[in-house]
Amino acid sequence: MVFKIIEVLGTSDKSWDDAVKQAFEIAKHTLKHIHSIDVVKHTARVENDQIVSYTADCKVCFEVRPEEHHHHHQ
């Protein structure tokens, strides 16, 4: 099996958990066969002593299946 990893940033105004879910939503619309998500770091933006947005920097690991690349019908 061949795996690739791409980095995806998810953002949320609710929580880091939601930011990870947003990153996953982005990834699953463009990638097939997602295997795992590794959250590399959590950051938050602060304004006026309040956290205003949460960001999850995620590495998304997905399987590349070569047989699918040979059957493109346009």
The residues spanned by each domain of the chain are 2-69
Could you tell me what percent of the chain has a pLDDT over 90?
A: 85
Q: pLDDT per residue over 22-50, tens digit each? A: 999 999 999 999 999 999 999 999 999 99
Q: pTM above the 0.85 mark?
A: no
What are the helix and strand counts (H, E) for the chain?
1, 3
Tokens of 17: 């958990």
Q: Measured between alpha carbons, how far is 39 from 28 in angstroms, rounded to an integer?
A: 16
Query: In the CATH scheme, what is the code of domain 2-69?
Result: 3.30.1660.10
Distance of CA 6 to the CA centre of its chain: 8
Residue type, 53: S
pLDDT band at 65 (very low <50, low <70, confident <90, very high): confident
Q: How far apart are CA 11 and CA 34, in angstroms?
A: 20
User: pLDDT grade, residue 72 (50/70/90)?
Assistant: low
| Strand bridging mode 2-12 / 50-64 | antiparallel
